[in-house]
Amino acid sequence: MFMSSPAEWHVDLLEIAQKCVYCGYCSLCPTFKELKWETYHPRGILEQIRMYFSEGVKESVQVEVSKSLFEAIFACTMCKACENICLVDLPLLKVWEQVRQEAFRKGRWNPLLLSLYNKVKSTHNIYGLPTEERLAWANLAGMNMSRRTKKKAPLAFFVGCQASYSGKMGNVAPSVVKILRKTKVNFTILGLDEWCCGSPVFLAGGYSAGRDFAKHNLDQLKELGVERIVTACSGCYRAFKIVYPRVLGEKWDIEVLHITELAEELIKNGKLKLKHSIKEKITFKDPCELVRHCGLVEAPREVIKQIPNVRFEELPSNKHEALCCGGGGLLKLNDSDLVNQVNSRLVSEIKYTEAEIVANGCPTCKDTILTGVKNDNLDVEVLDISELIVRAMEGEK
Ligand code: SF4
Ligand code: SF4
């Protein structure tokens, strides 16, 4: 069945909705801050869930409530800010995911979302592009990666769809490879055998459907004898770290690292040296999936600190309180204007720091921030942290 949650993720929606104490702490929701209607407020969504799922509710009422409920649930960026601050610790992300499943059951996904799902399922990437193009990033960067595929190694670089196929992310994967080569890490890649991590399917609430992606990728990694994987994508990181063990219901001992964690380790053991100073002032945008979903806070900062003479300034909202860029939760498929609105608050914070480089650890954030700074005519360079590391490692711009 496409739509169901792993047993331990399944929650009683009505019971949780009834536990909300209306404190309003979750008013920091980025969607509510922009749209300002109570129906988009996390506690407002819970109120609609109460109405929708109450026993004996009339069908006509359910149909009426579902209109605003499903609209609100797909206006959510899945940033986890509400759950992070909830006074009574409600597992809100699980609730939002289950409501997305209910929308699917009722045939209420928008066509773009359905189309993405079908593309991912049939082509195993988010763009619906041919598998043969999955190594386009290496060809464009003039890197011959063929000897790396099918190669047994203790560490695998999981590239992810955006870094593999998207022109805007063209430098991300080559940067990771440069770091691995320079530090002589013995690594492999899945190459044409890599499938989408399944993140878009999981974000839509499709845990059962996403299981195929988890199983495929994990089988490939096991075949190559991989003990650790590294990725520069926060969505892939969350999928491997949190979602795969649960959807597969099995313990597996492959360690999952974000590139910042590996870089921090390589710096500590003296293999990675960031010798070149970067004169531009730097700030860092914490991706929601790294910081709130997975609790990864310090590694990016530890790495940036190692850049000689670095001028670093935190964004006003940082770490667990970081603002969402607006690009998460598949919002781009549902309301691109809202993405821009949410993003403009982040751009204002970037402006406030007077940073000349905004680094981040997620292709979705990078893509969204690139659009935001362009819309705002802000003169700031948007870099993935792997690109920043290479710049400090090689001294090139
Ligand atoms: S996850 Fe983020 S966008 Fe969604 S309801 Fe919570 S705070 Fe709002
Ligand atoms: S923070 Fe939690 S308890 Fe308070 S209004 Fe929001 S969902 Fe309800």
CA of 168 to the centre of ligand 1 (A): 27
pLDDT value at 1 more than 50? no
CA angle 44, 47, 49 (to 5 degrees): 115
Lowest mean pLDDT among 19-23, 226-230, 327-331: 327-331
The closest-lying atom of ligand 1 relative to the alpha carbon of residue 324 is 2
In this structure, the residue with its CA closest to atom 2 of ligand 1 is: 79
> For ligand 2, is residue 24 a contact (CB within 6 Å)?
yes
- Shared domain for 261 and 289, answered yes or no, is no
1 domain residue, yes or no = no
Which residues, 6 or more positions from 284, have their beta carbon under 8 angstroms from its beta carbon? 300, 301, 304, 312, 314, 315, 318, 358, 359, 360, 385
Token look-up 């940073």 returns 355
Residue with the bigger pLDDT between 248 and 47: it is: 47
* CB of 396 closer than 8 Å to CB of 322: no
- Shared domain for 386 and 300, answered yes or no, is yes
Q: How far apart are the C-alpha atoms of 241 and 239, rounded to whole Å?
A: 6
The closest-lying atom of ligand 1 relative to the alpha carbon of residue 93 is 1
Q: For residue 1, give both structure tokens.
A: 């069945």
CA 138 to chain centre: 23
Provide the pLDDT for residue 2. Answer: 45
- Shared domain for 161 and 262, answered yes or no, is yes
| Number of domains the chain is built from | 3
Residue 354, class by beta-carbon neighbours within 10 Å (0-12 exposed, 13-18 middle, 19+ buried)?
exposed
* CA distances to 250, 323, 346 from 237, in Å: 18, 19, 23
The closest-lying atom of ligand 1 relative to the alpha carbon of residue 83 is 6
Which of the four pLDDT bands, split at 50, 70 and 90, describes residue 134?
A: very high
Which of the four pLDDT bands, split at 50, 70 and 90, describes residue 396?
A: low
The ligand minimizing its distance to the Cα of 331 is: 1
pLDDT value at 108 more than 80? yes
245 domain residue, yes or no = yes
pLDDT value at 297 more than 80? yes
Q: What is the mean predicted confidence (pLDDT) over 309-313? A: 97
CA of 89 to the centre of ligand 2 (A): 8
Tens digits of residue pLDDT in 20-51: 999 999 999 999 999 999 999 999 999 999 99
pLDDT value at 3 more than 60? no
pLDDT value at 397 more than 50? yes
> For ligand 2, is residue 29 a contact (CB within 6 Å)?
no
Q: What is the mean predicted confidence (pLDDT) over 366-379? A: 96
pLDDT value at 81 more than 90? yes
2 domain residue, yes or no = no
* CB of 119 closer than 8 Å to CB of 128: yes
CA of 42 to the centre of ligand 2 (A): 7
The ligand minimizing its distance to the Cα of 91 is: 2
- Shared domain for 279 and 236, answered yes or no, is no
Residue range of the domain that includes 11: 7-108
The ligand minimizing its distance to the Cα of 33 is: 1
Domain boundary among 239, 266, 293: 266
Provide the pLDDT for residue 230. Answer: 98
* CB of 213 closer than 8 Å to CB of 196: yes
State the average pLDDT for the chain: 93
